[in-house]
Amino acid sequence: MRSADLVSSFGEIARVKDIDRATLQIIVEDVIKAMIQKRYGADEAFEIIFNPNQGDIQILHIQEVVDDWDLVDPVTEIELSDARTVDPDLEVGEEVASEMNIEEFGRRAVMTARQTFQQRIRDIEKEQIYKEYSEMIGEIVVGEIRQIRRHETLLVHDDSVEMVLPRREQIPDERHRKGDMLRAVVKEVRRDSGSDPQVVVSRAAETFMERLFELEVPEVYDGIVEIKKVARIPGDRAKVAVTSHDERVDPVGACVGVKGVRIHAVVRELNDENIDVMEWSDDAHTLIKRALSPAEPVSVKINEDVDPPRARAEVVADEVSQAIGRKGVNIKLAVKLTGYEIDVYREIPADEEDIEIEEFADELDPEVIEQLKEIGCDTGKAVLELSSGALTRRTGMNRSTADHVIEVIRTEFQRGPTVPDFLAEGAFQVEAMEASAVDSVPVDEGAEPMAEPAAPQSPPDSDANVDEDDAEAEEEPEAEEAPDASVDPETRPDPSAPGMQVDRE
């Protein structure tokens, strides 16, 4: 193969791979030097002259002239008699340059040189792809689906670069076919030694949604409206917090558009994913309230002393389910958006009775009580609002302990206060269940107090409960018509008997 033909083949490969002339010249020189080193063992005595414009390459072998019979290294030295065949005026110590032809290296060496050149071109191409797409991380690219595999989908960008869309980076329940054009954002570029760089793209990343808003909302693209934070559960729901750098521009209205035309374009691209756009706030309390929308928290308390910081949000009873969301989606997005671990509790009205968690110290270990207080469960009803699974996840206690805690607190609320509880607290008054019993008990103002409680006195319009025995007594007219009937000690009402109600004085 002539040198012109070799250079022409090199140039054709370079044009296809879009290699500039300077790079091409370096590669050709390196390939020729590799051929020389393989034949002579070194390339210090050779000079390569390459002209890419004319497609010509010249190889010069430079040797030092020595006396005959003094030759030591035939690569770097030449005898005087041989040197004068090139130039008769040469003397010992001078240098002579002789031109070499590509054919002298042999056909096998030339083919090896061509393969080496192609390998160098591929290496340069890999480096260019890695550098180019590393600078495109976070940008949207459009690729054609070449192959759909079980765990990934292969895309082709610019008819040459292969991109990988892993299953975890796809939107759930999204279906595509071979040949479809698909938009995605470049997430990362991987390069292992000896392999081609792998461009990984994603449709499930928050950055993909941000770039879609930049495409559809001019105010976002121009920087007037800034997207502060995006929280997504791909294919289900997302929350976007935005702010405006121009007080004349409403950030939420700009992102939604007239009749929702702008946000609907984003929703369609994301396979009908629900998007909530809210205004950003630097105040953590306000931000948490907005993040829990559509619920409207009554109050928010923040604890910055823990890592991550926690927040306790109280909402009315009817909005607890809205604050948490279906399968906990709403509160998960609020946590991602705000950076706070949010605990949602039902607001307890002032007239609703509750029990402080410390009052369960006789049945719960102190460590358990402290764990409950750390997550904001400082009352019994606050604990009952959580399931055993949620209690386990938030406190770190095992499942059996969580079940025991809930059972103890639930039993206490179901049992309610008893007569012994009131007796242990001090003064009390026994109130009869039947108003007619007042007339049947003689009253002696000067008598000493009896050891047992006196017969209860109740006004005629008493709201006391009536048990079944009292109801039967009401049906006997004889008992009601005996105004002077005395009360037998054995039949005197017992405060602990059913049908009696005990009130504190």
Architecture of domain 136-204: Beta Barrel (2.40)
Q: Is the pLDDT of residue 473 over 50?
A: no
Residues 120-135 have a mean pLDDT of 87
Taking a C-beta distance cutoff of 8 angstroms, is the pair 109, 6 a contact? no
Q: Is the pLDDT of residue 111 over 60?
A: yes
Q: What is the pLDDT of residue 4?
A: 61
Q: Tens digit of pLDDT for each residue in 294-304?
A: 999 999 999 88
Q: Is the pLDDT of residue 14 over 60?
A: yes
Architecture of domain 282-340: 2-Layer Sandwich (3.30)
d(CA 357, CA 380): 6
Confidence label for 467 from pLDDT (cuts 50, 70 and 90): very low
Taking a C-beta distance cutoff of 8 angstroms, is the pair 4, 101 a contact? no
Q: What is the torsional sign of CA 452, 455, 458, 462?
A: positive
Query: Domain 357-415 has what CATH class?
Result: mainly alpha
**CB hemisphere CA count around 183 (13 angstroms):** 14
Q: What is the pLDDT of residue 362?
A: 84
- Give Dmax over CA atoms of the chain in angstroms: 164
Residues 145-164 have a mean pLDDT of 90
Residues 211-238 have a mean pLDDT of 94
Confidence label for 17 from pLDDT (cuts 50, 70 and 90): low
Q: What is the pLDDT of residue 71?
A: 80
Residues 71-91 have a mean pLDDT of 82
Q: Is the pLDDT of residue 283 over 80?
A: yes
| Residue 437: C-alpha distances to residues 38, 152, 349 (Å) | 125, 85, 38
Strands 77-79 and 56-66: parallel
| 73-87, 122-136, 350-364, range with the lowest pLDDT | 350-364
Q: What are the tokens at 259?
A: 């009749």
Q: What is the torsional sign of CA 461, 462, 465, 469?
A: negative
CB atoms within 10 A of CB 137: 14
Q: What is the pLDDT of residue 264?
A: 94
Query: ∠ CA 464-465-469 to the nearest 5 degrees?
Result: 125
The residue whose two tokens read 């989606």 is 329
Q: Tens digit of pLDDT for each residue in 393-432?
A: 888 888 898 999 988 888 877 665 544 444 444 544 444 4
| Residue 90: C-alpha distances to residues 59, 315, 422 (Å) | 21, 103, 129
Q: What is the pLDDT of residue 100?
A: 80
Q: Is the pLDDT of residue 441 over 50?
A: no
* Segments making up each domain of the chain, as ranges: 3-127, 136-204, 282-340, 357-415, 427-505
Architecture of domain 3-127: 2-Layer Sandwich (3.30)
| 37-46, 72-81, 215-224, 494-503, range with the lowest pLDDT | 494-503
Q: Tens digit of pLDDT for each residue in 243-272?
A: 999 999 999 999 999 999 999 999 999 999
Q: Is the pLDDT of residue 316 over 80?
A: yes
Q: Is the pLDDT of residue 282 over 90?
A: yes
Angle, helix 399-415 to helix 366-374, in steps of 10 degrees = 90
Q: What is the pLDDT of residue 62?
A: 84
